[in-house]
Amino acid sequence: MSEVRVRFAPSPTGSLHIGGARTALFNWLFARHNGGKFILRVDDTDLQRSTEESMKGILEGLRWLGIDWDEGPIYQSQRIEEYRKFANKLLEEGKAYYCFCTKEELEEMRKQAEKEGRPPMYTGKCRNLTKEQIEEHLRQGRKPVIRLKVPQQGKTVVHDVIRGDVEFDNSTFDDFIIMKSDNMPTYNFATVVDDYQMGITHVIRAEELLSNTPKQILIYEALGVEIPQFAHVSMVLAPDRSKLSKRHGATSVQEFRDQGYLPEAIVNYITLLGWMPKDGEEIFDVSKSIKEFTLERVSKNPAVYDVQKLTWINGHYIRNYDLDKLTEAVIPFLKAKNLIREDFDYDYIKKIVSAVREREKTLVDIADAMSYYFTEVNEYEEKG
């Protein structure tokens, strides 16, 4: 087997949430288990929504969890010429074509399909334009998109390590766009070019991206390059089995950090969202995960987010954490509550942490429990 190369490719349009953190972790565990490489790529071609602040938060979140990368971060926005080069190759080989259809024409196609009870799909109007027609449109200043010529018969099969074979009928796809009229790539096209050029061997990602995979396979086939193995990890659902969202409480790594959870506990918990060690134990360190992690043992069933279980796991780590490390972790929470000054007595704080840790589940809980001791000291000082 060639060297395993996997990637985590977040879009810097929001925070690192629990689902994204799990995707990153599973890729990282798979790379470390197989002695491979974990690559960080930034899918930032949506220039209007991408922010530096979001990217900074994602990088900080990964570092805090202990997920380090071997290559990157590699930014898609800096690779636009590569996508254009591959799109031109497909044009030259007759596997893609310029489409000059206007919004009005596309809307008319949609209405006609609706009228005839067909799914709204591009009709292929520009599929067979002559060289002269293309040149005339370009002379008129019309800005085309580039569409892939999709086979109109047959099936595309996704060989998924977790889900088995998943078939898609090619007739359900139209000639989809790979380059937009502003010369920017679509998500599927940029993803394929990147994964090919970066030598990605396994694409491990969320189940909701499975519907993109047949289109990506069609692009791989058109380019005539090797297709990686795919593994689509089941969704993380809320306790009521709906889609996990902010209304279910903390969902981002930063929120968990602010609420006093330890990174080791978060990593332990999100590993359990779809995977379990051989002995069935629920408390284990990352070295055990690295030693045992395989895609074949990742569950097909949706994982259900359970904050009570996470808090229970966090309590276990707090009770067993190195006392100095725990004290260092608690100090920012004490400062945030204005319970200590800059010239605090470290040994005194360490003794109190040791005294209260057995009963508490988060760093916030420890800081709250410690406030009693500092209140007493302050009152004594005032009376004196």
Contact yes or no for 30/1 (Cβ under 8 A)? no
Task: Give me the count of residues in the chain.
Answer: 384
> Which residue numbers are catalytic?
246
Structure tokens at 218: 């069609």
Please tell me the distance from the alpha carbon of residue 134 to that of residue 137, in angstroms, as a whole number: 5
User: Which residues, other chains included, contact 269 with Cβ-Cβ below 8 Å and sequence gap of 6+?
Assistant: 309, 310, 313, 314
Structure tokens at 158: 């996704």
User: What kind and span of H or E run contains 115?
Assistant: helix 103-115
- Which residues on adjacent β-strands are paired with residue 230? 160, 203
Please tell me the distance from the alpha carbon of residue 248 to that of residue 306, in angstroms, as a whole number: 10
User: What kind and span of H or E run contains 316?
Assistant: helix 307-320
Contact yes or no for 149/87 (Cβ under 8 A)? no
CA distances from 238 to 64, 230, 244, 245 (A): 24, 25, 5, 8
Nearest to 227 by CA among 171, 146, 176, 158: 158
Amino acid letter for position 168? F
Residue with tokens 């045992």: 292
Q: Estimate to the nearest angstrom the gap between the alpha carbon of 82 and the chain centroid.
A: 23
Exposure string for 29-62, b = 16+ CB within 10 A, e = fewer: bbbbbbebbbbbbbbbbeeeebeeebbebbbebb
DSSP type of residue 101: -
Helix (H, G, I), strand (E, B) or coil at 237: strand
